[in-house]
């Protein structure tokens, strides 16, 4: 019973991930986390350090939000992917080498994955069948040699 419910939960999660640019959004969120984690210091000290500290938080926050937008509105994948690429390049210049280049690389790869993603066309409702049902109907349609 528990195993069956876990399996159905996993299948629902897998269907949800398959219908959106999940990997691109995940890499965008990770790039935002990396950029903000390198400036983990009190706000007063961050303001004294100048543009590098504050802009790291801004770029990291914007990249994390873009990753979430990519997940929950997959129709905007071209816009979010291109913005993530631009933010990654901007962070390379303005925010401590974009999280020591790791955050920039994650943002560029995630933006590229989101930008190039194409949605999978779903068959119409009446034509969708389960694989077993489809296989059974396919074998029924084949004429037998004795007939």
Number of domains in the chain: 1
pLDDT value, residue 104: 92
| CA–CA distance, 54 with 57 (Å, rounded to integer) | 5
pLDDT value, residue 137: 62
SS3 content of the chain, % helix, strand, coil (to 5): 80, 0, 20
94 part of a folded domain: yes
State the 10-residue block means of pLDDT for the chain, 147 residues long: 86 87 94 85 73 82 95 93 93 80 92 90 64 62 58
135 part of a folded domain: no
pLDDT value, residue 4: 85
Q: Find the domain containing 46 and state its range.
A: 26-118
């Amino acid at each position: 019973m528990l195993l069956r419910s876990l399996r159905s939960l996993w299948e629902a999660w897998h269907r949800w991930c398959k219908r959106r640019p999940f990997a691109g959004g995940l890499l965008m969120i990770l790039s935002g986390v990396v950029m903000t984690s390198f400036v983990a210091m009190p706000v007063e000290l961050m303001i004294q350090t100048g543009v590098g500290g504050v802009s790291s938080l801004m770029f990291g926050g914007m990249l994390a939000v873009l990753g979430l937008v990519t997940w929950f509105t997959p129709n905007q994948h071209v816009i979010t992917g291109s913005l993530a690429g631009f933010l990654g390049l901007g962070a390379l210049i303005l925010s401590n080498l974009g999280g020591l280049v790791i955050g920039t690389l994650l943002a560029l790869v995630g933006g590229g994955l989101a930008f190039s993603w194409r949605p999978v066309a779903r068959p119409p409702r009446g034509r969708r069948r389960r694989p077993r049902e489809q296989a059974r109907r396919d074998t029924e349609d084949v004429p037998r040699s004795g007939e």
